[in-house]
């Protein structure tokens, strides 16, 4: 829709006016911040001068303490009011150049007043009249912009639903305070605007999508009815973007009771965490906590002298396994699938319940050959006393009992040492010294044992876990108890697992079950402060992982965002497992689908969709580009030449962000060796890489998860590299990282996935 000249002038004048008001407010706040900072500093400097310190008698002491408390109170009040002004100032500085990005005109039913609502990153009131000049994008009324085309519309406030008619929906492009363009939009939010946003180049950091959030995305962002919200979204449909916008929305809506440190985002890896780290600050919010499942598991298993494999090494194993699987590899693959299942979870829980009654093997507390507290004594205490308590509470009690016993033993030892040493002539007359020495010696002997008690190291949890795979009788009876069949490959899984555990290796697939069992036995360490847990790349988690997360965050609501088409882990290959996740969470669950893909051009989306003919549906956004290019190389040398030529050609076209995507770590290393001489700025990305900096990078496909690049080159899309069914989704994931250009090189025959 074209917008007339008069309208332009009105809008430009309003923009100028609003900016001037913001600038005035900034000046005012600047001064306030200075004053409050100064006041706080003065109080801090004079803190002790303003306190009457008198310690002569008890009354004086009480008065002094009261005086200190009062002064501390004054100081913290002043610091709070400084912080308030400072935050308000920061917010205005953030919006002054782009105060708003859209406008809606709305007439409430029964009224003739047509209200103009301008929407931006944060609200701003006219300092004199208190009129709202800008509405926060998260305010209830702003929902009209995201949810409705012009026509009948309504929005809901905490008190009521307001009906009316939306007369106009307008979007602005404002940069450095200048109105560059504006569009009146119809059904969806600004196709023109969206076209422009999506045609831009990829960046070092992900950006917010606040100006062009689509209706289907908005529903997810604002959902606060469901305790578990599951989003199945196509590659590039905006899952990560939506997750971050949702966090910002919840922080606004529940600003009186919710803070960023009560929200946690589970990311696929540290590189991704870095990539998304600026979205919340861009929206004027503090970042939530970010972590990876791997970090959590490592933290829980730290200290145990075990070699814990990480998820990437597991993936490398799966991707490098021979086409005709060796029996050992087949056993491991079956094991990975089974150990991620709800069936295995039930067996572990039944095992935990049985261990309440019997079966935990405790190690005794000894110094040298002398047993201080025997395993029988511990077992007796544990299984005969307080049997009605939870396992965790019983452990706590037992810990206290053991520590108490060790304290007594230490005291006796101290006395014994004292008695013995005091007979030595050199200590005569040095009684104080002697006492100190005796205490130290006794402490030194008993200290490690107390630490062992404190850390519950007298229970061999890995040993208990291993027992499941050593005693056929035990496992079979537990499985029977929970009415689960043993998996077909049980014998092979059993042998493989017990031999690895005996060598002290914890495979990634065993890490969560082991931590889970540890939680049952030792008392689960829960994180009660977390109110929202958001899991990105949710398809990569097994039902077992979800059960663990549920236990870990008992008070949290969950948002799980994933794409079955990109399930690259062997444990995540069961299609449609979302419903079982819902069941596992045992709570009201809503599943929402996002099918439209915004990242890639139509040509790339269509090409990638052919890789997964039976996958989840994907609909491209209407943005055209070049067809993906296939290039056959005669050998490795020719491949290097072609890759180098393509990268250079892209650079000549001004393309800045490029990725050469390989399958495995080994292929990545080899390709890097061959290419780096010709492409000196090539960045080699490994699982240890922490920072994402756009440029030309080379990386294995699994590390490219969640990321995007202007141009993607699949290093070798040949049949020798991608042919197994288990590699199809990884291949798909790699291709869908491209925004504008996709090229696939191959040696020999192309992969059957693209024939
Ligand atoms: N409403 C929108 N407006 C503008 N850009 C959008 C919108 N939705 C998504 N995008 C863009 O599309 C790209 C893909 O988004 P995002 O990474 O959030 O998708 P995803 O579903 O998490 O992708 P994947 O699963 O493939 O990693 C990003 O560049 C994002 O900015």
| Residue with CA nearest ligand 1 atom 9 | 238
Region 432-461: mean pLDDT is 87
Residue 720 contacts residue 748 (beta carbons within 8 Å): yes
Higher-confidence position of 70 and 207: 207
In 600-680, which ranges are continuous DSSP H helix? 602-611, 636-652, 665-676
The answer to the question of whether 233 is labelled as a binding residue is yes
Question: Which of 110-114, 433-437, 723-727, 743-747 holds the top average pLDDT?
Answer: 743-747
Is the minimum distance from the CB of 236 to ligand 1 under 6 angstroms? yes
Q: Could you read off the pLDDT of 555-607 as tens digits, one per residue?
A: 999 999 999 888 877 766 455 556 666 666 666 788 899 999 999 999 999 99
For residue 127, what pLDDT band results from cuts at 50, 70 and 90? confident
Closest atom of ligand 1 to CA, residue 736: 26
Residue nearest to atom 27 of ligand 1 (CA): 706
For the entire predicted model, the pTM comes to 0.88
Tell the residue nearest (CA) to atom 5 of ligand 1: 209
Return the pLDDT at 55.
63
**Has 253 been labeled as part of a binding site?**
no
Probe ligand 1: pick from 240, 272, 657, max atoms within 8 Å of CB? 240
Tell me the pLDDT band of 50, cut-offs 50, 70 and 90.
low
Per-residue pLDDT tens over the stretch 213-262: 999 999 999 999 899 999 999 999 999 999 999 999 999 999 999 999 99
Query: Measured from the CB, is residue 287 less than 6 Å from ligand 1?
Result: no
- Is 234 labelled as part of a ligand binding site? yes
Compute the distance between CA of residue 684 and CA of residue 201 in angstroms, rounded to an integer. Answer: 21
Tokens encoding 397: 């009690």
**C-beta of 209 in contact with ligand 1 (< 6 A):** yes
pLDDT in tens, 363-404: 889 888 888 999 888 888 888 876 777 777 888 888 899 999
Ligand 1 near 238 CB (within 6 A): yes
Q: How high does pLDDT run on average in the chain?
A: 89
Cβ atoms of 742 and 628 within 8 Å: the answer is yes
Give the residue, by CA position, lying nearest to ligand 1 atom 15. Answer: 238
Name the band, by pLDDT with cuts 50, 70 and 90, for residue 189: low
pLDDT of 619 above 90: yes
Per-residue pLDDT of 341-370, as tens digits, reads: 889 999 999 999 898 888 888 888 988 888
635 C-alpha to ligand 1 centroid (Å): 36
Q: How many angstroms is it from 290 CA to the middle of ligand 1? A: 19
Residue 524: per-residue pLDDT: 72
Higher pLDDT, 322 or 373: 373
476 is in an annotated binding site: no
pLDDT, tens digit (0-9, with 9 covering 90-100), for 74-95: 778 878 888 888 989 999 999 9
Predicted local distance difference test score (pLDDT) of residue 58: 72
Separation CA 72–CA 51 (nearest Å): 10
Buried b (16+ CB within 10 A) or exposed e, 49-82: eebeeeeeeeeeeebbeeebeebeeebeebbeeb
* Residues 268-274, mean pLDDT to the nearest whole number: 90
Predicted pLDDT at 496: 95
- Distance, CA 721 to ligand 1 centroid (Å)? 29
Q: What is the mean pLDDT of residues 443-460?
A: 87
Q: Which atom of ligand 1 is nearest to the CA of 189?
A: 1
CB 212 within 8 A of CB 194: yes
Q: Is 190 in the pocket of ligand 1 (CB under 6 A)?
A: no
Q: What is the pLDDT of residue 350?
A: 95
ipTM: 0.99
Residue 188 predicted with pLDDT over 60: no
Q: Is 600 in the pocket of ligand 1 (CB under 6 A)?
A: no
* DSSP structural state of residue 459: B
Ligand 1 centroid to residue 686 C-alpha, Å? 24
CA dist list (Å): 483 to 343, 477, 546: 9, 10, 21
Per the CB < 8 A criterion, the answer to whether 736 and 600 are in contact is yes
Q: What is the pLDDT of residue 681?
A: 92
H-only helix segments in 288-430: 293-301, 311-320, 327-339, 342-357, 375-384, 391-421
* pLDDT confidence tier of residue 632, bands split at 50, 70 and 90: very high
Q: Is the CB of 618 under 6 A from ligand 1?
A: no
């Amino acid at each position: 829709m074209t917008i007339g000249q008069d309208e332009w002038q009105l809008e430009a004048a309003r923009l100028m006016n609003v900016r001037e008001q913001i600038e005035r407010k900034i000046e005012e706040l600047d001064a306030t911040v200075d004053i409050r900072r100064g006041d706080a500093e003065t109080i801090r400097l004079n803190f002790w001068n303003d306190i009457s310190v008198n310690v002569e008698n008890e009354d004086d002491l009480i008065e002094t303490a009261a005086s200190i408390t009062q002064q501390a109170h004054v100081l913290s009040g002043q610091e709070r009011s400084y912080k308030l002004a400072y935050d308000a100032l920061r917010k205005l500085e953030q919006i002054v150049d782009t105060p708003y990005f859209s406008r809606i005109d709305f007439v409430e039913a029964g009224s003739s007043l047509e209200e103009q609502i301008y929407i931006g990153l944060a609200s701003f009131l006219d300092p004199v009249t208190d009129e709202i000049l800008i509405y926060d994008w998260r305010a209830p009324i702003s929902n009209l912009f995201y949810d409705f085309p012009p026509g009948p519309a309504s929005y809901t406030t905490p008190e009521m639903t307001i009906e009316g008619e939306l007369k106009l929906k307008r979007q602005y492009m404002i940069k450095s305070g200048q109105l560059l363009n504006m569009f009146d939009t119809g059904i969806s939010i600004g196709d023109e605007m969206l076209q422009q946003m999506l045609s831009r180049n990829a960046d070092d950091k992900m950006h917010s999508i606040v100006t062009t959030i689509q209706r289907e995305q908005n529903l997810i962002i604002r959902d606060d009815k469901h305790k578990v919200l599951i989003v199945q979204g196509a590659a590039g449909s905006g899952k990560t973007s939506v997750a971050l916008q949702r966090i910002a929305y919840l922080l606004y809506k529940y600003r009186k009771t919710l803070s960023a440190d009560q929200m946690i985002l589970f990311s696929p890896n540290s590189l991704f965490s870095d990539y998304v780290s600026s979205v919340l600050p861009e929206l004027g919010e503090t970042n939530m906590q970010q972590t990876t499942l791997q970090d959590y598991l490592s933290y829980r298993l730290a200290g145990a002298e075990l070699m814990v494999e990480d998820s990437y090494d597991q993936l490398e194993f799966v991707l490098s396994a021979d086409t005709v699987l060796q029996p050992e590899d087949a056993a491991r693959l079956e094991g990975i699938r089974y150990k991620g299942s709800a069936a295995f979870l039930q067996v572990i829980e039944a095992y935990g319940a049985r261990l309440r009654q019997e079966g935990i093997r405790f190690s005794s507390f000894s110094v040298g050959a002398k047993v201080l507290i025997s395993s029988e004594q511990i077992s007796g205490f544990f299984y005969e006393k307080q049997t009605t308590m939870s396992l965790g509470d019983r452990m706590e009690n037992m810990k206290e009992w053991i520590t108490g016993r060790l304290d007594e033993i230490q005291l006796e030892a101290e006395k014994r040492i004292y008695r013995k040493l005091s007979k030595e002539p050199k200590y005569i007359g040095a009684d104080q010294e002697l006492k100190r020495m005796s205490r130290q010696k006794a402490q030194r002997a008993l200290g490690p044992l107390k630490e062992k008690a404190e850390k519950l190291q007298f229970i061999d949890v890995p040993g208990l876990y291993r027992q499941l795979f050593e005693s056929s009788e035990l496992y079979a009876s537990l499985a029977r108890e929970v009415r689960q069949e043993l998996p077909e490959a049980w014998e092979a899984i059993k042998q493989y697992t017990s031999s690895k555990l005996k060598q002290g290796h914890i495979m990634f697939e065993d890490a969560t079950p082991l931590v889970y069992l540890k939680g049952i036995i030792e008392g689960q360490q829960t994180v009660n402060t977390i109110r929202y847990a958001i899991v990105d790349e949710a398809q990569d988690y097994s039902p077992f992982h979800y059960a663990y997360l549920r236990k870990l965050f008992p008070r949290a609501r969950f948002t799980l965002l994933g794409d079955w088409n990109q399930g690259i882990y062997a444990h995540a290959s069961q299609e449609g497992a979302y419903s079982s996740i819902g069941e596992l969470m045992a709570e009201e669950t809503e599943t929402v689908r996002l099918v439209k893909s915004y990242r890639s051009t139509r040509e790339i989306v269509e090409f990638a969709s052919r890789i997964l003919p039976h996958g989840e549906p994907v609909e491209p956004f209407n943005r055209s580009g070049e067809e993906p290019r296939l290039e056959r190389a005669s050998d490795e040398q020719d491949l290097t030449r072609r890759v180098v030529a393509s990268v250079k050609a892209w650079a000549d076209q001004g393309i800045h962000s490029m990725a050469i995507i390989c399958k495995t770590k080994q292929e990545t290393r080899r390709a890097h060796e061959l290419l780096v001489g010709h492409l000196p700025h090539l960045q080699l990305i490994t699982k240890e890489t922490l920072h994402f900096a756009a440029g030309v990078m080379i990386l294995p496909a699994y590390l490219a998860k969640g990321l995007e690049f202007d141009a993607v080159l699949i290093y070798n899309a040949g049949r020798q590299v991608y042919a197994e069914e288990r590699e199809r989704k990884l291949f798909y994931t790699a291709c869908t990282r491209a925004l504008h250009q996709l090229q696939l090189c191959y040696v020999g025959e192309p992969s059957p996935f693209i024939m």
